[in-house]
Structure 1
Amino acid sequence: MDASEIVERLYESPSTLKDVGRRSIFRFLDPDDYDRFLQTLSSRSSSGKRFRDIRTLDLVHAVSCPSDTICLLPSLNGQVYWEEDAPIQLHALPKGAIVSEKGIPWGVRHIQAPRAWSRTTGLRVKVGVIDTGADFGHPDLHHSLERGINLLNRLAPPQDDNGHGTHIAGTIAAANALHGMIGVAPRSTIYPVKAFDHNGTAYVSDIILGIEWCVRHQMDVVNMSFGMKTKSRSLLNAVNHAYHSGVLIVASSGNDGRVGDIDYPAGYPHTIAVGATNRASRIAKFTNRSSSIDIYAPGDRIVSSWLSGKQREMSGTSMATAHVTGAVALLLSHKPELTPAQIKTIVKNSAKPLKNGKALRSAGELNVTRMIKASENA
């Protein structure tokens, strides 16, 4: 089957299958085949043909479209790799109470970020946050946000309609010392990448598009506080592409309390995989843990920014991941020449040993003082 035949199969037609709403990804194993497919699709579209909901994923030479359309395609004789465009879940537990807290939250203080602010505050570091967007009117984030991108509606700003992304952004880079809170890297810049809707729902293809945007716009570090149980080869390819492009991804391990298994993309080797601890520097009961965890950080009852200018207490490996992303921003502001591999090594090797004597782990807890000191020898 050539490119024109594939495009013809994607032509919009009434669906008779039961799995409407589900999506699939097909990835061209030969980049030249993908280019020919795009050229054919473009020519058919310009001739007036209407095609169903197709997303081109240039970063991995793939296309996402409704599963009922994919299922109509015959075998492509090994030219294309198929997989489900699977749903992805945010990694936060049920919402906590709305609170009002000023100053430095316990997690930011616990990892000793304030001790580093005389040397580094995250200045000139670009942080991509692939999430639900951010509250651009929040006083804690007024000086911390750039426009970013709304992948769900390219004509609209990435305004948060869920709250999760705003909470993550606050932990990383809130900068409202007089009337609000301060994040780990208060002079870093957050670029919200809205890939999740108001229900916190997204697909693998949304995340790949988010990673592609972050690579193209030269983010230094990307926060990904979400995951799924199954592997996606397309997402793995996107993560690896970012890593080799100099963009480090920090990802959360999940909140199912599993031992020996964590979610993806945290489970991929070219991310920093994060688990959660509590105030006592013990691994939180809800966190997934395994030897794949690279670092633990505060994730239990974390206060950060919320919608409508409010603050909220939240728990989850999502919150832990934001602390690590902020710490990486401090590190990159201090030593911008560091590669993703060097950063991951420094973060892991400078960790503070945990108190859990019997926990399945090879990682310790994030400590910014130790991290900055370790970077001097990198």
Structure 2
Amino acid sequence: MDVQKILSAVACVLVFTACSKKSSDSVFSDSTALDSAACMGQAIKNKFIVQWEDGRFTVESGSDADSFKKEFIEPQLQEIRRVEFDRRIQLESTKEYATSSVSDSWGQSMIKTSSAYSQGFYGQGVKVAVVDAYVDVTHPQLAGRIAVNSGEIPNNGIDDDRNGVVDDYYGASFVSVPSSTTSPSPHGSHVAGIIAADSAYGPVNGVAPRAQIIPAQFIANDGGGSLGDAVLALQYAANRGAKVINASWGGAPCVASLRNAFQELERKGILVVVAAGNDGRDIDIYPEFPASFDLSNQITVAASSVSDFMTAWSNSGFNLVHVAAPGEHILSTIPGATSTYMDGTSMAAPFVSGTAAILWSAKPTATPQQIKAAIQQSVDVTSGHEFKVKTRGRINIQKALQVLGQLVP
């Protein structure tokens, strides 16, 4: 076979729609194709994630796959790009403390947030979406930091701005999985506080205290959720104008829908900051999703300790984990107008999201790739303290601002 025939064959494999007739079977996938050993999600047999040819995602219901193909996919076949089963996912556990012997803002001091404030950079003008569990928008330290949707009238039961979401004045919830508890999860509020808590109203010092938070909930109170709900929350955050999306969750089944959703965010110029995970494993060898996607608009974050070493429980990887950030004994907001300490890469990721917001407030024209480069090229690497991450280091806002100034004059 000559070279031209080989190239044609490869093209046919990569773009099957150009070489075969489109059918309901060709757009529907029930496989976890990215890495079958790592894809452990539980399929929801009557819910389906639909990606349309224009890039939109919807989550649809049907009695079973065969009926859904016939009744939903076939009549709209030319408008549909891909369909997959929705799948259940579970929020990773974090360790919580009532008290701590370390400084309440040791992480902020270590990454040198004050250097940004002295230059007038607080994350102002930057929207950061918390795609996560419940965010308490009434918390005194968060209430003034929530990005209000001015096109919506609160609590009138009407989709005033016709964006497909009713009453999303303070954000939106996409939770469809029943919860075993009515007590709000503290996770989303804790993440939001690390990013942008206002220290004028309590003890928590947000990294970017003038950034705006877009709550986009998909995780129920008991930590359960679905991949489809996550995709809808990501899409909502993008449509609300988020420049940064914080994804402090892992263990998602690695079906293509989630990767495709991340690629849509990449196309829209949105930076996604992802927690590496808390299993103490190398995700270069044992992939974790979405942490292992490694897209150009993605930063995957490991957790550093108070003594500036990698925590024993943090996931790592010299290729797929990019930087470390404070993730141990982190004080932040939780529902009920109070605060607590938590451990986790879930806490490390919002340190990076807050850093990105500060950098964008300094250079609003920067691209996600430039923000990512500035964060990666400015890490502190200390002899004997190297981290098992791509950059070998822990983030430093002071140096990141200097690097960004060189990348974006």
Unmatched 5+ stretches in structure 1: 7-18, 33-57, 154-158
- Which residue is equivalent to 2:189? 166
Alignment of 1:140-151 (within 5 A): 140-146=141-147, 147-151=170-174
Tell me which moved more, 268-277 or 228-237. 228-237
How big is the shift at 1:63? 4.1
- Which residue is equivalent to 1:316? 344
1:70 pairs with 2:65 = yes
Distance 1:359 1:172, change over 3 A: closer
1:331 pairs with 2:359 = yes
- Which residue is equivalent to 2:400? 371
Whole-Å separation in 2 of the counterparts to 1:362 and 1:2: 42
How big is the shift at 1:369? 0.6
Whole-Å separation in 1 of the counterparts to 2:365 and 2:192: 24
**Aligned to 2:302, which of 271, 275, 289?**
275
Whole-Å separation in 2 of the counterparts to 1:311 and 1:132: 16
How big is the shift at 1:217? 1.4
- Which residue is equivalent to 1:195? 218
Whole-Å separation in 2 of the counterparts to 1:302 and 1:104: 7
1:285 pairs with 2:312 = yes
- Which residue is equivalent to 1:139? 140
TM-score, normalization: structure 2? 0.73
How big is the shift at 1:142? 2.6
- Which residue is equivalent to 1:42? none
Whole-Å separation in 2 of the counterparts to 1:87 and 1:278: 31
Q: How many residues align?
A: 330
Write out the 4+ residue segments of structure 1 that deviate beyond 4 Å after TM superposition.
19-24, 71-82, 98-101, 354-359
- Which residue is equivalent to 2:263? 240
Whole-Å separation in 2 of the counterparts to 1:313 and 1:307: 13
Would you say the 8 A contact 2:204–2:331 is kept in 1?
A: no
Q: Over aligned residues, Cα RMSD in angstroms?
A: 3.1
How big is the shift at 1:70? 1.9
Give the letter for the 1:205 counterpart: G
Distance 1:161 1:369, change over 3 A: same
Name the SS for the 1:182 alignment partner.
coil
- Which residue is equivalent to 2:199? 176
Whole-Å separation in 2 of the counterparts to 1:311 and 1:278: 20
How big is the shift at 1:281? 1.3
- Which residue is equivalent to 1:51? none
Name the SS for the 1:139 alignment partner.
coil
How big is the shift at 1:337? 0.6
- Which residue is equivalent to 1:263? 288
Would you say the 8 A contact 2:211–2:357 is kept in 1?
A: yes
- Which residue is equivalent to 2:209? 186
Whole-Å separation in 2 of the counterparts to 1:333 and 1:172: 14
How big is the shift at 1:104? 5.8
Give the letter for the 2:138 counterpart: G
Distance 1:216 1:20, change over 3 A: closer
TM-score, normalization: structure 1? 0.78
Would you say the 8 A contact 2:107–2:326 is kept in 1?
A: yes
Name the SS for the 1:169 alignment partner.
helix
Unmatched 5+ stretches in structure 2: 1-21, 28-41, 148-169, 177-181
Tell me which moved more, 252-261 or 320-329. 252-261
Would you say the 8 A contact 1:282–1:354 is kept in 2?
A: no
Name the SS for the 1:276 alignment partner.
strand
